[in-house]
Structure 1
Amino acid sequence: MRPSASSCIRFASPAFRSSFRLPPSAFILALVLVLPALSSSAFAQRVRPGRGDAPEAARSHETTPPVEPEMGERAMAAVCSEREADPQGSTPIDEMQARPSLPMNHTDVVAGVRRAERLLPIARVLTIEALRQIADEYEIAPARVRAATVRIRAVRNIEPDMELRDNAAVVLNDPHTISFGTIFLAGLRSDEGMVSVLAHELIHIADGKTDSLRPLFRLIGRRAASLTGLSIYGHRPEELTSDLVGAMASRALVTRTPNAESLPRRLARSVEHNCVEEDDTDEDHLSPRNTMRAVFALDPALARDIMNRDGFYPPLEKPRSF
């Protein structure tokens, strides 16, 4: 999900990407474990150089009015209220970071691995659909989207990793696998929360070594910055885009699999791991709560539906099976 929305580290050079923040001690441990296998140039987050892409003006294709700042704060409060009352609510990132590592055979870890493996095929489908939707809205070249979707379809494996703790990560030299820290696996208790994080990681893989989605990241970052006044630069646009696609994929899952639970509760699960008390950040990520603010600014319909206590499942044109 990146420290912003979940803990997803992205070691983004030719080798390793992730999107969630590591606490300092865990980051040092990760360095010790990873560096022997990688060259010094292969590690470290990529500050992406320009690749000749012409500047593109961000376009707004919203179907609902933008979220006012006060409404965004109310939506965040609704998310966190749902999380506290929800037996399947995700553990906030800061709470995950404070917990000791969990062994691979821990009951909650085993359940998390099974959930991730079960949902990965669905997440691939929903991520591709969400990516195509926003790529069309921002007029991204079809060839870039095709290359990205090929990479998404190739992801087949979930790998638990005790040392990743509260993070998820992808390795670009092994673009078929998403790795999850055991704490993170245990902390994502719902299908909706898991699909959100899987989609987030799939977008990192979709971008690939050739930066296929860089123009999309740049445009979404600009739009979010203009809507929120947040500083969104460097690696942050990619992380935010991954969060946005995660929320869209989770919402699609909810729409297509109605059940007895309330719509607002299920929608809240896509972002509620950001309900932190300590809203810390770093150069590469928005803080968790600012991530929610930006996602709601980009997807105002999501914010409104989460706040709608009488929310209902929209009818499907035809049943969809995965």
Structure 2
Amino acid sequence: MIRDWAEAARLEDARLTRAAQAGEVAALGVLLERHRAGMRAVALSILGPGADADDVMQDAALTALRRIGDVRDPQAVGAWLRMIVRNAGRTVLRRSALLQPVDELQLPSDDADPARWLEQNALRDWIWEALEELSPALRMPLVLRHFTAQVTSYEQIAKACGVPVGTVRSRLSQGRVKLAAALAATADAAHSDTEQRVRASRVEARETLDAAECGHFGKLVTERWSPDVALLRGRDRIADRDILVRGMHSDIEDGVRQRLVNAVAGRSLTIWEMDILNPADHPEHCPPSVAWLMSLDAAGRALQLRLFHPRPVQAIEVLPVM
């Protein structure tokens, strides 16, 4: 009898997994409920009761949503879900052991390239459609946490958004709840092509860098960005378009270059993650990387820009330059 029950459970898991892979949000929700107790037991065994275990459970649900298409053995989806929790829990322990913020959240896969999440996951368009339903205050932390490569720790998100770490935790928790509701509400809606949008954003990023090197950054900003574009630090406006352009020109004249390493693109939010290449005679001119966090207006033009350095050079005061 027990063997028959176990076999029936595996078959039901397989049915639900295939349905979730086909885009049925209800099926994924049922899967998570079926295995919630086992997943939570893993989180508690690694982290004990508390906020970290709760965060790991919430992160695991979003990871499952992004990566459900990767499940090769639908009957073993329970073990796959517990593995996600186990890996995320161990990441938290490693971060605690180092007593410093982690630069990157390691995913439960050898493939940790956020662009591949978007390009390979059949649910990517649906996820982004749901993200667009959230308020900007909730959308930005979720996108940084789950879709960027270097701005993923609570401390980094807090600095990028100009809010306390506790507010980041609160917004992530609220955002996940609202995202789940938005996913259900948009399951049958028409979804825009995220892969095409990401490709276009990569092209735009490279064209922007090329224009800067050729001395045409100001012209490009005038043509493509909102006339009211503002440079922010956290939540504070610190510069307008003219200062932004002068800052870019100054860096180019000093021999600083940038190289695109990752693009995240929604209808209302675009993120370009760049490596910074400093001149040989001044290797500490700028921090080694920068993320352009751009909020877009209704026409898709950059309206607000935050420049965040995930790994600032300690001896340098971070100035509002590119």
Tell me the TM-score normalized by structure 2.
Answer: 0.23
Asked which structure has the greater RCO (Cα within 8 Å, sep 6+), the reply is: 1
Report which of the two has the higher share of strand: 2
